[in-house]
Amino acid sequence: MSTFQRLESPSFQSSCELCREAGGAMIFQSAHWRVIRAEDAAFPAFYRVVWRAHVAEWSDLSLAHQAEVMGVVTAVERVLREALAPTKINLASLGNVTPHLHWHVIARFDWDSHYPAPVWAAAAREVAPPPVERLGLALDALDARVARAVAALAPGA
């Protein structure tokens, strides 16, 4: 797993959590973006694609950078589909709490605690055994597959 390195950039905002910290388990970092895993026990296969520079809105990115980010989001989604066969993939970009551009890529299952509501809604049920044990794949193996897939898309790769 790679190590989080702050982006030395005029856009850095010390008040912003995603400028200061990785925001989860570091999976891969390129010059422009990083992929982290959210470390949410209820949703173990929950990744985020974070644009490294501090921009708040999707339309702040050029079309070329939007295409780059969507390529990474798509690569993460494909790994989750192939590795886990989830009921559904959820993609979201909200940023209400942390207005630093990031995409959520979440494998959802019809047995998960919130399904079919969004992960941010109230839980609908208790899940046992724990979700991580129901994935059928160890998280470090899943992380490695995600890292391999997105590394191929890094600028200069």
Q: Does 102 bind Zn ion (CB under 5 A)?
A: no
Rounded distance between C-alpha atoms, residue 45 and residue 12, angstroms: 29
Q: Does 79 bind Zn ion (CB under 5 A)?
A: no
| Least spacing, CB of residue 26 vs Zn ion, in Å | 16
Stretch that binds Zn ion, among 8-16, 43-51, 56-64, 110-118 (CB under 5 A): 8-16
Nearer to Zn ion among residue 101 and residue 149 (C-beta): 101
Stretch that binds Zn ion, among 30-38, 47-55, 89-97, 118-126 (CB under 5 A): 47-55
Binding residue (CB under 5 A) for Zn ion from 48, 54, 102, 104: 54
Stretch that binds Zn ion, among 51-59, 61-69, 108-116, 149-157 (CB under 5 A): 51-59
Q: What's the per-residue H, E or C state across 130-145? A: CHHHHCCCCHHHHHHH
Stretch that binds Zn ion, among 54-62, 115-123, 124-132, 143-151 (CB under 5 A): 54-62
Q: Does 100 bind Zn ion (CB under 5 A)?
A: yes
Binding residue (CB under 5 A) for Zn ion from 1, 2, 4, 16: 16
What are residue 103's phi and psi, to 5 degrees? -110, 135
Report the number of secondary-structure helices (H) and strands (E) in the chain: 4, 5
Q: Does 22 bind Zn ion (CB under 5 A)?
A: no
Task: Evaluate whether 122 touches 37 at the Cβ level (below 8 Å).
Answer: no
| Least spacing, CB of residue 153 vs Zn ion, in Å | 22
Q: Is 101 exposed, middle or buried (0-12, 13-18, 19+ CB in 10 A)?
A: buried
Listed in sequence order, the residues at least 6 apart from 105 whose beta carbon sits closer than 8 Å to its beta carbon are: 46, 47, 48, 49, 73, 76, 77, 80, 89, 90, 91
